[in-house]
Amino acid sequence: MEVAVKILPPADGKRQDFKLNLPHGSTVQDAVDELARIFGERKMLLINDKKKLLPAWKVYLNEQLISSSNGEYSNKVLNEGDTLMLLLALAGG
Amino acid sequence: MVKIAGYGGKFLRIDLTSQKAYIDSLPSEYYEDYIGGRGFNSRLLFDLAGPVTDPLSPEAPLLIAPGALHGTPVPTASRSTATVKNVLSGGHGDAHGGGYVGSELKYAGYDVLVITGRAEKPTWVLINDDKVEFHDASELWGKKIRETQEALKGKFSSKKIEVACIGPAGENLVKYAIIADGVATFGRTGVGAVMGSKNLKAVAVYGSGGLAIHDPERLLKAIKKYSEIIKLDAYLPPAVTYGSPRFMWHRVKHGIHGACNWRLGDFKWQQLSPEIFREKHTLKAASCAMCPVRCRRDMMIKDGEHQGEYTKIEWESIARSMTMGLTESVVVIRVITAFNELGMDIECGGDAIAFAQECFEKGILTEEDLDGDSLNFGDAESILKTIYKIAYREGIGDLLADGCYYASQAIGRGSEKCAMHIKGVGVTAGDPRGMPVRAVSYATSTRGSDHLRSNPYVEEIATPEEAERMFGSKEAADLKGVKGKGRMLKWSEDLVTIGDLLGTCKWAFYRAANMQYLQEKGLNLAGEFYSAVTGRETSGDDLMLAAERVYNIEKAFNVRVGMRRKDDTIPERFFNEPNRGGPNDGAIVERDKFNIILDEYYEARGWDPRTSLQKEATLERLGLSHIKDVLRKEEQEKGEKLLL
Ligand code: SF4
């Protein structure tokens, strides 16, 4: 099944739209694992050494926030056509 | 002269009244205790200004100090600190800039420049190594920032000269006037007004010396490590692509725009998006000295009636434009250009105008008060007109030039509720409603309202386990949490202060997308860079201790002028009036949470939670017995406790 992913702002400063081909029954964490594979050596832009998304990324599934205020996200099962959005909107300046 | 690799070794004092310059050395222990930059300045301000010093009097000092690593090849080591007695709060004041005047000062041999006195007529000063010349600035007086810099640089076209100058706002003692330093500015706390009060239009510097590096190989290794980290730290690549306007996404995510004088969390931001600024307006990406990130942007209006107008833009100026109700990028560029060229801080200036706009909306100010004009949120032409009136202190501008706090005190009639300031300094950054530690961090900043004095955003990047290990509670990793937040705030204030001692960038060193990189850059690599450059073996923990020392000196300065716990607060609006619209709709700063965090913060600092006064044992632990002695002496004179 195909799942769209939007990473905003683009973690590598370049690419923000991805299409993932995942087996049926895949979860949010499976999508994160696949993104980490795509990022290769730069996977630390997304995940920590426990392979979980960094708490700084907020996770939205079909525009619904699925991460909590402490950065943990629910590992929902994905469906064909879902859109996952990762929003790294850190403050600072 | 103190001989430590990486430092200039000397201290230059200029007296504008007598037009004399004195070259000296700082006590050698200053280098160990305060490291450089803000550290040197905060200590010197404590010694040179007292509770009754008028910030705009001849005897009040203006201090400029490059960070300890400024002028060396350390990435982002581009920052200097300008320190004054805060024109808005009366307490400690400083501003930080990423220009080149600091490195030229170092190449000329100086770690600190102290300017006192008042010239009889407009003056500019040339510093070239040991030579200091005083020049008539009558021709420059009245000129805006770019014109002034071009005129002075034009005189020395064959040399690399750097210029720090004021614009008309500094000349007219606008309380939030800036000092411009080439590509950067010293923006906050009225440093430009202090310079103007001395009849000093500009300081031009070129140094012919170099800086020794103790261990170049070790330095190169550390630079390599830093370069590897910033490629993997998700905080930075978007900065490279979009510059600081990318912070818009943070405000949208949390609904914390603070639009229309800190009332609206939802706002028409779409025409101010990072993409709009990138695609429609970016002229070029620029950087501070030695920075691989290059987040600075020169933005231009590329078509229409105002085609060709350009200025440098950073995020906070876009944010404050929204505080004035602006929604459109061309207008925002015009407004920011006006602030930059006239030499005013848009943070405080934006808050002052938004204050007047709300007063007008509520009928507290009428067209008669506003020189026959209206002043509505989002009305570009009236905003632009008001900016000029402020810079030249004309009509209502004369009142607003003192900032929203003083203006509200003069107007009365309930206008006080519309004045969004902390310790007299206009509120900055994002709306803190719903995020209690951010509110506390604005309140505890030693220079008045400020989001760069700490890094409360640690709550967004720490895992619950990291929060528990470092701050004693998993709650510290939760935006809504309270426990551990005071300790987290204290830690992050000290951490960020290191950047101001070393002169490294707060974004590129003291913000990160995860705790591992934040500590790796901000502590370990910071210590490694300092050790490699100077040959003084210094760890991240040593730097934290120096930073804590400096924070305590600034606190002691504020205590001397009468600031206590009651002053470590935020505008009542944030406690009482819910945020309107967006994902943060209805949020307030809950007073009980605010107070719990503040109590924990004072405990962590070793200050008395009831009064916020420092404990004698804290100052002793930090080796600040001189500060303790001054406080004890002054408490006898005043008959009031200044220290526990
Ligand atoms: S990250 Fe931006 S503000 Fe920081 S040093 Fe680099 S260019 Fe300057």
Are the beta carbons of A93 and B507 separated by less than 8 Å?
A: yes
Q: What is the DSSP string of B313-326?
A: E-HHHHHHHHHTT-
Q: Which residues line ligand 1 (CB under 6 A)?
A: B 76, 78, 98, 287-288, 291, 293-296, 505, 507-508
- Strand extents, DSSP E, B121-207: 123-128, 131-136, 162-165, 179-181, 184-186, 200-206
Are the beta carbons of A70 and B478 separated by less than 8 Å?
A: yes
What's the CA dihedral at B222, B223, B224, B227 to 10 degrees?
120
Nearest protein CA to atom 2 of ligand 1, as residue = B295
Least Cα distance to B383 among B333, B313, B315, B419 occurs for B333
Query: Which residues, in sequence order, are CB contacts of B454 under 8 Å at separation 6+?
Result: B441, B444, B445, B489, B492, B493, B496
The whole-model pTM stands at 0.96
**Nearest atom in ligand 1 to B236's CA:** 1
Nearest protein CA to atom 5 of ligand 1, as residue = B76
Least confident of B43-52, B284-293, B460-469, B568-577: B284-293
Query: Which residues, in sequence order, are CB contacts of B336 under 8 Å at separation 6+?
Result: B311, B313, B317, B318, B321, B346
Q: Chain B partners of A8 at a C-beta cutoff of 8 Å?
A: 249
CA distance B218 to A1: 51
A18-69: pLDDT as tens digits: 999 999 999 999 999 999 999 999 999 999 989 999 998 989 999 898 988 7
Q: Which of B181, B235, B242, B293 to mutate to test the pocket of ligand 1 (most atoms within 8 A of CB)?
A: B293
What average pLDDT score do residues B20-48 get? Answer: 97
Mutate which of A8, A63, A69 to test chain B, going by most B C-beta atoms within 10 A?
A: A69
Q: What is the mean pLDDT of chain B?
A: 96
Nearest protein CA to atom 4 of ligand 1, as residue = B505
- The reply to whether B10-206 and B436-615 are identical in fold is no
Residue ranges covered by each domain of chain B: 10-206, 258-426, 436-615
Are the beta carbons of B460 and A71 separated by less than 8 Å?
A: yes
Q: Is the dihedral of CA B109, B113, B115, B119 positive or negative?
A: positive
Separation of first and last alpha carbons in chain A: 40
Beta bridge mates, B425: B422
pLDDT band at A93; cut points 50, 70, 90: low
Beta bridge mates, B297: B285, B313
* pLDDT score, position A72: 85
Q: What is the DSSP string of B477-501?
A: GSTT--TTHHHHHHHHHHHHHHHHH
* Secondary structure of B223-266 as H, E, C letters: HHHHHHHHHHCCCCHHHHHHCHHHHHHHHHHHCCCCHHHHCECC
Distance B219 CA to ligand 1 centre (A): 20
Question: Which chain A residue shows the shortest CA-CA distance from B244?
Answer: A93
To the nearest whole angstrom, how far is the Cα of A3 from the nearest Cα of chain B?
Answer: 23
CA distance A68 to B479: 9
* pLDDT score, position B66: 98
Quick one: DSSP state of residue A43? G
What average pLDDT score do residues B128-149 get? Answer: 98
User: Domain B258-426 has what CATH class?
Assistant: mainly alpha
pLDDT band at B186; cut points 50, 70, 90: very high
Q: Considering chain B, what percentage of its residues have pLDDT values greater than 70?
A: 100
pLDDT at A91 over 80: no
* pLDDT score, position B295: 87
Least confident of A66-80, B85-99, B411-425, B532-546: A66-80
Return the CATH fold of B436-615: 1.10.599
* pLDDT score, position B160: 83
Mutate which of B230, B244, B253, B468 to test chain A, going by most A C-beta atoms within 10 A?
A: B253
* Joined tokens for residue B89: 């709060």
* Residue B541 CB-half CA count within 13 A: 0
What average pLDDT score do residues B73-98 get? Answer: 97
User: What ipTM describes this predicted complex?
Assistant: 0.88
> Is the omega angle on the peptide bond into residue B58 within 30 degrees of 0, that is, cis?
no
* pLDDT score, position B367: 98
pLDDT at B507 over 80: yes
Residue ranges covered by each domain of chain A: 2-88
User: B10-206 belongs to which homologous superfamily?
Assistant: Aldehyde ferredoxin oxidoreductase, N-terminal domain (3.60.9.10)
Query: In this structure, how many other beta carbons lie within 10 angstroms of the beta carbon of residue B358?
Result: 24
Q: What is the DSSP string of B418-453?
A: G--EETTEEP-SS--TT-HHHHHHHHH-TTSS-SSS
Are the beta carbons of A45 and B513 separated by less than 8 Å?
A: yes
B588-605: pLDDT as tens digits: 999 999 999 999 999 999
B473-493: pLDDT as tens digits: 999 999 889 999 999 999 999
**Residues B324 and B357: beta-carbon distance below 8 Å:** yes
Interface of A with B in 47-66 (CB under 8 A): 48, 54-58
**Nearest atom in ligand 1 to A93's CA:** 3
* Joined tokens for residue A80: 């064909």
What average pLDDT score do residues B623-643 get? Answer: 97
Beta bridge mates, B181: B164, B184
Q: Is the dihedral of CA B474, B476, B481, B485 positive or negative?
A: positive
What average pLDDT score do residues B610-629 get? Answer: 98
If interface means Cβ-Cβ distance under 8 Å, which residues of chain B face chain A? 231-235, 237-238, 240-242, 244, 246-247, 249-250, 252-254, 274, 314-316, 429-430, 451-452, 455, 457, 460-464, 474, 477-481, 506-507, 511, 513-514, 516
* Top-confidence residue, B250 or B331: B331
To the nearest whole angstrom, how far is the Cα of A44 from the nearest Cα of chain B?
Answer: 6
Q: Which CATH architecture has domain A2-88?
A: Roll (3.10)
Distance B499 CA to ligand 1 centre (A): 12
Q: Chain B partners of A93 at a C-beta cutoff of 8 Å?
A: 244, 247, 314-316, 452, 507
* pLDDT score, position A11: 85
* pLDDT score, position B204: 97
* pLDDT score, position A89: 64
Nearest by CB to residue B514, choosing from A8, A48, A58, is A48
pLDDT at B183 over 80: no
pLDDT at A92 over 70: no
A67-79: pLDDT as tens digits: 887 888 989 999 9
Q: Is the dihedral of CA B41, B42, B48, B52 positive or negative?
A: positive
**Residues B281 and B496: beta-carbon distance below 8 Å:** no
**Nearest atom in ligand 1 to B76's CA:** 5
Instruction: Please state the length of chain A.
Output: 93
